[in-house]
Structure 1
Amino acid sequence: MVFTSRTVPWDKAAHSRELLLSREWLVTNGLGGFASGTIAGAVTRRYHGLLIAALPTPHGRTVMWSHVSEFLRFPDDDVVSLGAEERAGGQLDLGAADYLHEFRLENGLPVWTYRVRGIVLEKRVLMLHLQNTVHLIYRILEAETRPRLELRPAFYFRHYESAVNEGLPAPYHLSAIEDRYEVSAAQSELPPLRMKLANDDAQFTVSPQSIHQVFYRVEQSRGYAYEGELWSPGFFVVDMQERDLTAIIASTEAWDIINVLTPETALAAEEERRAKMLDEALPEARSKFAAELVFAGDQFIITPAGRFEEAARAHAAGDEVRTVIAGYHWFTDWGRDTMISLEGLTLVTGRCLEAGYILRTFAHYVRYGLIPNMFPDGEKEGLYHTADATLWFFHALSRYLHYTDDRTTLHLLLPVLIDVAEYHLRGTRFNIHVDPRDGLLAQGAEGYQLTWMDAKMGDWVVTPRRGKAVEINALWYNALELLARWCREEGDVKHAEKYGDAAKSARDSFNQRFWFADGGYLFDVVDCNGQSQANDSSCRPNQLFAISLEHPVLDQKRWASVVNVAQKKLLTSVGLRSLSPDHPDYKPIYSGDLRSRDGAYHQGTVWAWLIGPFVDAWLKVHPDDTTRARKFLETFPQHLGDDGIGTISEVFDAREPHFAGGCIAQAWSVAEVLRSWIKTA
């Protein structure tokens, strides 16, 4: 059954061929693994491939299957290429442009339709949930002749972050038993890639081939190595007739797992899983644009592969491990992104059980009053350089309790939350501490980027924001108010009074210190670098959290002014600028090499996720005007047809036409747009 469909029409006479190379698709497996590429079929990023497997520690996510060349051979020996390959020096084979009729997402999954000499061929990519297994499925829908389908897979095993000219070069070893083939790399501890063609009439021809000078155009534009090589052991061949179905199945799983599901049963199982997803979501999220975002959001919720000790601990306690991938293709699970995304990804989508798993998973990793900033790929322990992720944990728990009233989880986590508050009050790592003179939370350590504006290249911290940052203190006040309430509800009067008093002190000082009267908005940081009265008047979106959170720290009489300034200087059709255009450091374009991009990352670049707190703050000023609030979101449905098809990008240029950049799929972008869409329904 088709619940959602998004079509990217293709007319070779009317559309630029570049569209097929710039639009990307993504399929995930619930482990952190994925398949992704361009509509055309060319690999343009190091992260593109048909199987990027999420392997156990220490391997992490690994590119196991990079590319497939697809041909139709007709009885008169005419051969047609259906995909795309690009070589250095401008050699581009873009057969897809001549024969592609349509690309669409059907229930969030990619489908290609080709028309060639009276034949209509359909192709689908499917990853099996919680397996490192991909099915590349072909079906003839109409046929005037009987074509032969030839498929040549190509590989270059490497970690997904490795440059395209690094990895495990040929020779690879190919072994075959009946219809089962295994490709392995010499002197490697990686599992073999197991492949088969799911068609009784299929044949495999051994014909080793090295493919040189493969050109990765996006890597070149981003300032990285952009020429690599691939290796192919040979090609599959199958004669197809109308309604015939065949599929290449590739996997790092054992053969007894691979053989459980045929392509037909795998498709049916995934369709059933997606139907359940919509059934569990809030009614407002079950159709059209919102339903597309439900499917997009599913891509980020994972059971992390390889963290076996963590899983064993959770299972022993009758629990499960879940986390959130911050973005595709390159992010892992980040604490801040997870907590901000929790409501949009799990609560409005009805996945409350998994929301609880996520909260309890991160609670287990609290160290020195902090949750991890992020988990490096392929590693078991997190990094803790963050001043705000732990405070977002309080917000996420509050939203979880709003939807579930799960007092058992609250009772379980309350001692952890009290420990967090105590560490902040007396001081913890990275100079995170409450200033006893005013009750405000300060942070900052040389060489570290501790707020969400965290760009760093080498020793250069682009936006250090050391001192008392506006959103850190809005979050701190919100956390104290929540904790005081939870302590009262659990009968802990002593701690309730203590945190209530701390909240009052923070609120009084905040309203005295952060108001920038000349601008009619809030300072971004006060006491910069620990220097009293050294205040940063940069106009940034961070001030909105002083209004948007459950317990706003800012006096209500100033809400309208802050929202009006943000609307005038920061709001765009795809999110909010990270810095006002009138600032001398403002950079409107996010492009170029790493230094150029990091220099613009939080210096003007638009972030889609910030539309969520803006809508929250705007509705607090205009509580009865959800119609106008919805208009702030009206561009996002169109964006689902651009860049990463069916999902929302990480960032955009601050200047029109707001080209997308960064990750093609970002968790908090999807989560906050979906949450705001439901809120303004």
Structure 2
Amino acid sequence: MGYIKFDKTQLINLEYSLNKELIRSNRAGSFSSTTIIGCNTRKYHGLLICPQPQLDGENHVLLSKIDETVIQREAEFNIGINKYTGAFSPKGHKYIRDFSSDIIPKITFRVGGVILTKEMMMVKHQERVMIKYTLVEAQSPTKLRIKPFLAFRNIHILSKQNIDLNTKYEAVPNGIMVKMYEGYSPLFIQLSKKGGEYVHVPDWYKNIEYIQEQNRGYDFQEDLYVPGFFEIDIKKGESIIFSAATKEIKPLSLAKEYEKEVEARIPRNNFHNCLVNSAEQFISKNNGSIDIIAGFPWYGRVGRFTFISLPGLTLSIDKQKDFVEVIDSMIKEMRGPLFSETGKNQFTTYNSVDTSLWFIWALQQYEKHGGKKAEIWTKYGKVIKSILDGYSGNHIPGIAIDENGMIYTSKEMSGYTWMNCQTEGICVTPRYGYVVELNALWYNAICFAIELAKTANESEFVQKWSETTKKISSAFKNVFWVNSQNCLADFVADGTQNTDIRPNQVIAASVHFSPIDDATKQKVIDVCYKQLLTPRGLRTLSPKDPKFRGICKGNAIERSCSMHQGTVWPWLLEHFTQGYFNLYKESALQLIEPLYNGFEETINERGIGTMSEIHEGDPPHNACGAISFAPSVAALLRVNDMIESFKRKSKRKATSNKKDK
């Protein structure tokens, strides 16, 4: 039995199978996403979703889905499935025998004496999805009918029947080219086998429903365009490949291309390999730049999450080259001391107070993984200096350095930390003034910069910033320490400490250069352990707080009000783990290793083979948010890194002790 596998009993249970989602992406920035039975439940689902930079710089659904029909002796068996008002039609899921995904997603259908498999593959460096149909068993001549459902729309906006539709098509080898609207990339739909027939019968399939959008309080009905259908004979033992792409391909090369892609895949045959595969899916190379997609299916690039997740997604799996390329791509889009937070080019925003400090933290992890300090300073010293000078020189509106050396942000910047959810333009968890993780990162960044500058004998720089670190280290605990709760305040504004027990203080215990001593770190870790730690990461607020919300469901406002008010974020576990190992060394393995291993239970929970963005604060901590989230995957790869590192240290100690005896 495969590592990722579902049987017929699970698959025909729609309440179960419609909550299991697939995501496959490629280096070209395209992705496919649907449920394990092929019924789309989100507006973000589709078989070919790719960027349209000429339109708005966002992802667009070109090919939404395919419905297939098996034809034998003039009897038709439709193996597709769609949700309409009050009913599913057709009900092809009843023919599914099993689903597996150890290498690529594969569905096996059984229709009477017919056994047909369907495998889906995203081509690594092209905007192309390939679907391979193999007739494993058949007792009589068999035809396959393939009906493509097209959308040609932004992933956030549903399609409705309209008069702007272009119903024309062009014949291409073994297929057609269609372009629903002006300005879009063309879509080439081709088959690997000659002799098929394309029948052009353009029509709208109206009011297809997306259950997850309905649950989330959004518009959930869509009209999809079907230009026609392909019909082709398929013999027992034969495979036919369906290709949908923004560029034409020679049909004879499809089979070879498909096999080449399969051979390059890392099998998802254990937990670690699932994480490695997931990590690679967030990395997009397009138009000369390499980016980290923050999460699927709705996120694009997010600067803060790029740097938070970059070490785990690259360094933890020995992809130093990708690390450097992402860093260099991000630097190109800097504006002064600030990195892009969301969007690209003319759509870029810079609304973050901490992204630039996470950049320096990421470089610090690169140095720990073998990067040379002198080389890092030579290449990135100017950027690091511009960041430190930008924060300290009043070059960023709303950010100032106080006399104590710490960063103080204005009330207008209250939604610019990572806890930035808003409802009707108002931040749910406003945080300003002295923000705890911001100042921990600031202190760490300065100390790391000093270390780097020493390699170039830049004594003036070292002396100047050493004075600042002295100020911060003497002021930090006085500003943030809450005696009544034995932990750090979340932020201090207008002379008042915010005493909500939140996980942001754990950053002060995890960074290499910390403004607090070990005794204080121990108290911080202790309160996080007792009040925030769950099997899925750290809660964003203590359950003892009356503002705590343990469930993250409902419409956009309800979910926004929960995201940082008790919801669990797995990415924070990395920093709890680092802080815990900082204090307890090898003995920390007793707690951390079972925590890490416990995440394997979630591999088939929601996003198959990957890690969700968040989990509910209340047990059983159901997964929610984005079905695949870069910081979550990266955090677990980093936690595994730490576990393996301390295991090696423990083994060396044991060996050394034996020799001494």
Task: Give the TM-score category using the shorter length.
Answer: over 0.9
Pairwise CA distance, 1:365:
2.3
Q: Deviations over 1:113-165 (max 9, x none)?
A: 22222332221111112211111111122333332211110112111122344
* Aligned twin of 1:402: 368
Pairwise CA distance, 1:410:
3.3
Contact 1:53 1:252 in 2 (8 A): no
* Aligned twin of 2:552: 590
* Aligned twin of 1:183: 178
* Aligned twin of 1:318: none
2:529 to 556, 560, 567: 567
Q: Distance in 1 between matches of 2:367 and 2:335?
A: 24
* Aligned twin of 2:386: 419
Pairwise CA distance, 1:455:
0.5
* Aligned twin of 1:70: 68
Contact 1:570 1:577 in 2 (8 A): yes
Describe the SS at the equivalent of 2:405.
coil
Pairwise CA distance, 1:185:
2.2
Report the CA distance shift for 1:177/1:110 in structure 2 as closer, same or farther (over 3 A).
closer
Report the CA distance shift for 1:271/1:196 in structure 2 as closer, same or farther (over 3 A).
closer
Moved more, 494-503 or 294-303: 494-503
Question: Within the alignment, does 1:143 sit opposite 2:130 as a pair?
Answer: no
Question: Within the alignment, does 1:347 sit opposite 2:315 as a pair?
Answer: yes
* Aligned twin of 2:304: 336
Contact 1:137 1:247 in 2 (8 A): yes
* 1:359-374 to 2 correspondences below 5 Å: 359-374=327-342
Contact 2:10 2:16 in 1 (8 A): no
* Aligned twin of 1:46: 43
Contact 1:208 1:234 in 2 (8 A): yes
2:261 to 270, 277, 295: 270
Report the CA distance shift for 1:168/1:263 in structure 2 as closer, same or farther (over 3 A).
farther
Q: Distance in 2 between matches of 1:574 and 1:497?
A: 43
* Aligned twin of 1:103: 99
* Aligned twin of 2:595: 632
Q: Distance in 2 between matches of 1:524 and 1:614?
A: 16
TM-score by length of 2: 0.93
Letter of the 1:412 counterpart: K
Report the CA distance shift for 1:168/1:567 in structure 2 as closer, same or farther (over 3 A).
farther
Pairwise CA distance, 1:243:
2.0
Q: Deviations over 1:329-368 (max 9, x none)?
A: 1111111101111111011111111100111111222223
Pairwise CA distance, 1:265:
2.1
* Aligned twin of 1:314: none
Percent of counterpart pairs with the same letter?
28
Q: Distance in 1 between matches of 2:367 and 2:351?
A: 27
Report the CA distance shift for 1:146/1:260 in structure 2 as closer, same or farther (over 3 A).
closer
Pairwise CA distance, 1:570:
0.7
Q: Deviations over 1:632-661 (max 9, x none)?
A: 122211211111101100011111121211
Describe the SS at the equivalent of 1:632.
helix
Question: Within the alignment, does 1:93 sit opposite 2:60 as a pair?
Answer: no
Q: Distance in 1 between matches of 2:323 and 2:48?
A: 28
Q: Distance in 2 between matches of 1:191 and 1:599?
A: 38
Q: Distance in 1 between matches of 2:506 and 2:551?
A: 23
1:247 to 217, 238, 241: 241
Moved more, 384-393 or 158-167: 158-167
* Aligned twin of 1:435: 402
* Aligned twin of 1:655: 618
Describe the SS at the equivalent of 1:156.
strand
Count of residue pairs brought into register by the alignment? 641
* 1:159-178 to 2 correspondences below 5 Å: 159-165=154-160, 170-178=165-173
Question: Within the alignment, does 1:233 sit opposite 2:231 as a pair?
Answer: no
Contact 1:150 1:236 in 2 (8 A): yes
* Aligned twin of 2:18: 21
Contact 2:114 2:135 in 1 (8 A): yes
Q: Distance in 2 between matches of 1:168 and 1:192?
A: 19
* 1:151-230 to 2 correspondences below 5 Å: 151-165=146-160, 170-186=165-181, 188-230=182-224
Question: Within the alignment, does 1:679 sit opposite 2:654 as a pair?
Answer: no
Describe the SS at the equivalent of 1:185.
coil
Moved more, 364-373 or 352-361: 364-373
Describe the SS at the equivalent of 1:22.
coil
Describe the SS at the equivalent of 2:438.
helix
Describe the SS at the equivalent of 2:498.
coil
Q: Distance in 2 between matches of 1:679 and 1:5?
A: 28
1:81 to 66, 75, 78: 78
Q: Distance in 2 between matches of 1:375 and 1:269?
A: 33
Contact 2:26 2:124 in 1 (8 A): yes
Q: Deviations over 1:168-218 (max 9, x none)?
A: 8645322224523011124x1112211111112322122222201111111
* Aligned twin of 2:659: none
Question: Within the alignment, does 1:504 sit opposite 2:470 as a pair?
Answer: yes
Report the CA distance shift for 1:118/1:672 in structure 2 as closer, same or farther (over 3 A).
same
* Aligned twin of 1:600: 562
TM-score by length of 1: 0.90
* Aligned twin of 2:647: none
Q: Deviations over 1:385-410 (max 9, x none)?
A: 11111101011011112223254443
Report the CA distance shift for 1:453/1:119 in structure 2 as closer, same or farther (over 3 A).
same
Pairwise CA distance, 1:272:
4.0
Letter of the 2:55 counterpart: P
Contact 1:341 1:667 in 2 (8 A): yes
Report the CA distance shift for 1:287/1:163 in structure 2 as closer, same or farther (over 3 A).
closer
Q: Deviations over 1:226-279 (max 9, x none)?
A: 1110111111112212221112111112x2xx228833322332234335xx9x
Q: Distance in 1 between matches of 2:505 and 2:413?
A: 24
Describe the SS at the equivalent of 1:634.
helix
2:28 to 20, 27, 31: 31
Letter of the 1:242 counterpart: K
Letter of the 1:410 counterpart: W
Q: Distance in 1 between matches of 2:252 and 2:448?
A: 48
Letter of the 1:334 counterpart: V
* Aligned twin of 1:545: 507
Question: Within the alignment, does 1:117 sit opposite 2:99 as a pair?
Answer: no
Question: Within the alignment, does 1:486 sit opposite 2:480 as a pair?
Answer: no
Letter of the 1:356 counterpart: V
Report the CA distance shift for 1:74/1:461 in structure 2 as closer, same or farther (over 3 A).
same
Describe the SS at the equivalent of 1:303.
strand
Q: Deviations over 1:7-27 (max 9, x none)?
A: 232233897322221111011
Letter of the 1:207 counterpart: V
Describe the SS at the equivalent of 1:452.
coil
Letter of the 1:647 counterpart: T
Contact 2:192 2:255 in 1 (8 A): no
Contact 2:532 2:542 in 1 (8 A): yes
Letter of the 1:505 counterpart: K
Pairwise CA distance, 1:380:
4.3
Contact 2:174 2:191 in 1 (8 A): yes
Contact 1:6 1:646 in 2 (8 A): no
* Aligned twin of 1:669: 632
Contact 1:10 1:101 in 2 (8 A): yes
Question: Within the alignment, does 1:642 sit opposite 2:605 as a pair?
Answer: yes
Report the CA distance shift for 1:247/1:49 in structure 2 as closer, same or farther (over 3 A).
same
Q: Distance in 1 between matches of 2:146 and 2:4?
A: 26
Q: Distance in 2 between matches of 1:295 and 1:166?
A: 38
Long gaps (5+) in structure 2: 645-661
Report the CA distance shift for 1:66/1:623 in structure 2 as closer, same or farther (over 3 A).
same
* Aligned twin of 1:283: none
Contact 1:163 1:224 in 2 (8 A): no
Letter of the 1:189 counterpart: G
